[in-house]
Chain A
Amino acid sequence: MRHRKYPFIIGFLIAPVGLYALLMLWPYLQTFGYSLTDWSGESSVMHFVGLKNYTTLFSDSVFQQALLHNLLLLLLLPVITILLALFFAFMLNVGGRGGTGGVQGVRGSAAYRVVFFFPQLLSIAILTVMFEGVFRSDASGLLNGILVKLGLENAQNPIEWLNDPNTVLWTVLAVTVWWWVGFYLVYFSAAMQAIPKDIYEAALLDGAGRVHTFFRITLPLLWDSLQTAWVYLAIVAMDFFAQVSTLTPGVAYGGGPDYHSEVLSTYLMRNFLYYGKSGYACAMGVVILFLTLIVSLVALRSTRRGRIEF
């Protein structure tokens, strides 16, 4: 049975690994090399400039602002999304009234689960057009239309959600939360269903209420899934390219007004494709790469706990 094992292994691995290495790993590695040059991207001419790109980067005020925005999103996006998703998942899985059986979700939980996942299915193109309509600055926008109708806002002086420097980043954050909550709701639901029902029933027999059940049973048993969610949302927070580049105003790839919604990814793309500063863009890529790595490692280490098997 052991014979002919290695030819088979190599035969099966060569295409996937080759393709992956050529189109994904190698470009990531090349980023490091290019980041040390003044390469424009247009020509093949490039000069080695050492760490100059990096020193320029740290005195670049737009970069600093973008970095600050990403760090803010890194803090807020996972917290808000996970809290909402956890709450919904708990409601839909164990939050229901007793009814005929023991532990179950609220009525219609299957329908809620299906609907809440919808945003994940929408491509960024649809999100863009949709939210430009929702946040349009006069009463023809869905949100302002509702606010005016409710009398919460002056129709003559509506909030320009995506053009006001004070609201633009929050608006984009809200869109992203709206986009991701459903996915993590389903993810946490799956994890909650893996928790044996007898644990809940035992708690119920001991007279535990909903709040107690959540904090004493559900949360500790979900820790692994929370950790995974945290890492993936952190990566989403480091991205934000699609949302910012399409929803916010700006010369190329959004980021406006006046860099108030600038994130690292949009600034990188602008340097690469619009300013033609490929080497500089690569240096930015390297910094973001390490930042993402640090964030993931911190999230994985700091949330490590004993694993509970059941």
Chain B
Amino acid sequence: MSATPITKTSDEPEEGRGPATPPAGGRRMPKEQRFGDAGGVLNVFSHGFLVLWTVMIILPLLWIVLGSFKTDAQIGGSAWAWPANWSFSVFGRAWDKGIGGFFLNTVIVLGFSVPLTMLFGSMAAYVLARYEFPGNRFLYYLFVAGAMFPPYLALVPLFFMVRNLGMLNTYQGLILVYVAFSMPFTVFFMHSFFRTLPTAVHEAAMIDGCSHTRAFFQVMLPIAKPGLISVGIFNLLGQWNQYILPLTLMQKQSGTDHDRSVLTQGLVNLSLQQGYSGDYPALFAGMTLAMLPVLVVYLSFQRQVQSGLSAGVLK
């Protein structure tokens, strides 16, 4: 398959996924009736199940958001209690309790790690996809093999490696580790994407005397933008939700060390402490605050997210 389906899907309106069916003639009606009506019971069951799953997803999320407006007593009481007063001060309280700091740490780390992942990942993927040299396949499989194993397997040596580099509980340490651990996924997807791009433009640029490096940055990267956006969003979501790596690498090294916890790690710590110090509404408000950015990113880019997955299918 070529690159066209990818760019095409992202241009399509939400409703009309896939090519529009050509207007069929008079043969249309009876056949479709038969197709759609195959099994009324099955139909009711299937639709019911779709609705049930939707409720299973929306209900707990809504419950979290509502939780931030409840009082401590209400949260401890019946699950069906409805918030009495809609006060937004709880969000300020959650922010001051440390969510603000966690948020900032996460943004700093991701602000560097995601662009760096995309830069390094597409550089490697581009060279591996477009240039022949001895060891090309070997390097490609070396990258892709990394996706086969859960990261916690390498955790013990990784911890000591980062410690020897003096980078425990530092932003740069976590950034570099994120970049390294995102390589397999990024190289795999960008590799299949660069292979689908037309060669003609690149050749024209080379004939005009463009250097390899310039051809990459000024010709190929702009063409690869749809792929870069999809893979970038996946990396953004993946690194935002990363838990075991920051848990191991971002612990305070001494009493005076700054707390550089990222959001996931900080929230889990807060929720564990809540058992003792109990300000549940603030915790729920913190969850809501942590949920919002991803929902916004996803809802505004959901077509790229979905077509990014197709890019993987249509390699």
Residue ranges of A at the interface with B (Cβ–Cβ < 8 Å): 1, 4-6, 8-9, 11-13, 15-17, 19-20, 22-28, 30-31, 34, 41, 87-88, 91, 93, 95-99, 101-106, 110, 112-126, 128-134, 136, 139-142, 144-146, 149, 178, 181-182, 186-187, 189-191, 193-194, 197, 201, 204-205, 207-211, 213, 225, 228, 231, 235, 238-239, 241-242, 246, 265, 268-269, 272-273, 278, 281-282, 285, 288-289, 292-293, 296
Contact = CB atoms under 8 A, between A and B. Distances in A.
A164 B310 CA distance: 41
Interface string B60-98: 110110010000000111111000000000000000000
A115 B256 CA distance: 44
Given A145-B79, A189-B306, 20 more contacts: A12-B123, A12-B124, A13-B127, A28-B153, A28-B154, A102-B24, A123-B240, A123-B290, A125-B271, A130-B287, A131-B60, A142-B60, A181-B53, A186-B305, A190-B309, A194-B5, A201-B21, A207-B34, A210-B39, A285-B154
Nearest to A92: B50
A29 B134 CA distance: 24
A282 B156 contact: yes
Interface stretch (B192-200, B221-229, B293-301): B293-301
Identify the 8 closest CB pairs spanning chains A and B, nearest first: A98-B32, A145-B79, A97-B36, A190-B310, A209-B38, A125-B267, A30-B157, A23-B180
Interface string B8-46: 010000110111110010011101111111110010001
Contacts, number: 319
B254 interface: no
Interface string B166-187: 0000000000110111010001
Contact of A23 (B158, B207, B309): B158
A24 B146 contact: yes
A118 B61 contact: yes
B248 interface: yes
A187 B126 contact: no
Interface residues of B, number: 115
B33 A98 contact: yes
A194 B8 CA distance: 12
A204 B31 contact: yes
B268 interface: yes
A235 B149 contact: yes
B243 A110 contact: no
A38 B165 CA distance: 23
B219 interface: no
B235 interface: no
A98 B46 contact: no
Most buried by B among A91, A93, A130, A181: A130
Contacts of A273: 248
Nearest to B306: A186
B91 to A, nearest CB: 16
19 contacts: A11-B213, A19-B179, A20-B143, A26-B161, A31-B154, A34-B157, A41-B156, A106-B50, A110-B15, A125-B267, A126-B64, A133-B60, A134-B63, A139-B78, A144-B79, A178-B56, A187-B312, A288-B150, A289-B153
Nearest to A28: B154
B150 to A, nearest CB: 4
B244 interface: yes
B314 interface: yes
B241 interface: yes
Contacts of B143: 20
A126 B287 contact: yes
B204 to A, nearest CB: 12
Interface in B113-162: 120-121, 123-124, 126-127, 131, 133, 139, 142-143, 146, 148-150, 152-162
B302 A241 contact: no
A15 B64 contact: no
A242 B244 contact: yes
